[in-house]
Amino acid sequence: MVSRRALLIGATVLAAPRVAVAQPRSAVPRLGVLAQDVQPGLLETLRDELERLGYVEGKGIVTEVRNADGRSDRLPALVADLLRLKVDVIVAVNTPAAKAAQNATQAVPIVIMRVADPVKAGLVRSLAHPGANVTGVSFLPDVLGAKSIEALSQVVPSLSRVAAFYKGDNPGALLVVTETERRSAELGVRFERFPVRDPSDFPDAFTAAARAGAQAVFVMDDGAMTHMRGPFLKLSSQRSLPVASIYKDFAEAGGLFAYGPDLDHVYRRAAYYVVRVLKGAKPSELPVEQADRLHFVVNLKSAKALGLTIPPALLLRANQVIE
């Protein structure tokens, strides 16, 4: 026979409100990397830094990489796949990936990088107080593009018109182009915008740029544009147009200049944020960093092919000179 006391205790338990219990993390944390385009060398940098911080791949952490191969439309499905795997943290590489992750979850911490102005992009409330599940490393768009245009103006005689190429579905790229256009106007340089979707858009865009009198090209090289840099640089070379970019991939592949964040350092800082979150820090309380290590690359080989002379003062500023 069940005692009256046991019945009372049982009734009390049944009547008590249910409390949601957070799912405990697995013994080995799972990291999801969501990228518009994966750069293997930089992915290894992320893993190396995680190992240095005590999270060895396969033992202390498992990394799941989802690569959109330059196609932003694939990102929602890829982040959904990561969430099905119950990743503990998502590293989102550039603005489209960050927005896709943010739209998919408000619970899983998101560490961003290669994002232009996350406040304007609607990813965080402020840099000092992100306020939700997003934090990481970003850059302000008004400086980087302007530095590239300044460099072009010292090399291209009487520079007055630049064609700006960018991925039309990347809001971060549009921010950079808009700010660079504003700063370029102060130098007396006019921007002609050419949003593109894929390499099939390049021939018509370059023809229109030539018709507009463009003397040089500025490319906002997000993951998608980096993925398409081969055909892009081939066409710019055929039209003898010098190319300035944000990241060094374009300069190393044949562009003239690159001025932007040192991505090796950015990926290492992203690893730092991942570790902080895995150890219990809340993204909402981790201020967003501004990428403060900038890299200026000059490709002398491309300058020679274009018949351009690089002033010695500009070479002295370069972190890397390609000969």
Domains of the chain: 30-139+262-293 (3.40.50.2300), 141-261+295-322 (3.40.50.2300)
pLDDT (average), residues 99-111: 98
Angle of helix 171-186 versus helix 141-155 axis, rounded to 10: 50
What's the confidence (pLDDT) of residue 92?
A: 98
| Spatial CA neighbour of 310 closest among 158, 319, 301 | 301
What's the confidence (pLDDT) of residue 19?
A: 32
Cα 39 from Cα 211, distance rounded (Å):
34
| Spatial CA neighbour of 148 closest among 214, 235, 243, 230 | 243
Cα 276 from Cα 274, distance rounded (Å):
6
Centre a 10 Å sphere on the Cβ of residue 25 and count the other Cβ atoms it contains.
12
| Spatial CA neighbour of 47 closest among 275, 291, 281, 292 | 275
Cα 311 from Cα 316, distance rounded (Å):
9
Residue pair 255/245 in contact (Cβ under 8 Å)? The answer is yes
Whether the pLDDT of residue 7 is over 80: the answer is: no
Sequence-ordered alpha helix ranges (H) in 112-170? 141-155
Whether the pLDDT of residue 186 is over 50: the answer is: yes
Task: Render pLDDT for 109-143 as a digit per residue (tens, 0 to 9).
Answer: 999 999 988 999 999 999 999 999 999 999 877 77
In which residue are the tokens 């060094």 written? 248
| Spatial CA neighbour of 170 closest among 243, 227, 217 | 227
Least confident segment among 5-19, 53-67, 181-195: 5-19
What's the confidence (pLDDT) of residue 22?
A: 39
For the chain, what is the mean pLDDT? Answer: 89
Residue 114 structure tokens: 């290669």
What's the confidence (pLDDT) of residue 26?
A: 59
Q: What percent of the chain shows pLDDT beyond 90?
A: 70
Cα 128 from Cα 288, distance rounded (Å):
6
pLDDT (average), residues 259-280: 95
Residue 294 structure tokens: 């900038």
Pairing outcome for strands 190-196 and 161-167: parallel
Residue type, 58: G
The most confident of 17-26, 177-186, 197-206, 270-279, by mean pLDDT: 270-279
Find how far residue 167's CA is from the centre of its chain.
13
Return the higher-pLDDT residue of 241 and 292: 241
DSSP state of 105: -
Return the higher-pLDDT residue of 221 and 200: 200
What's the confidence (pLDDT) of residue 81?
A: 98
What's the confidence (pLDDT) of residue 21?
A: 35
What's the confidence (pLDDT) of residue 25?
A: 54
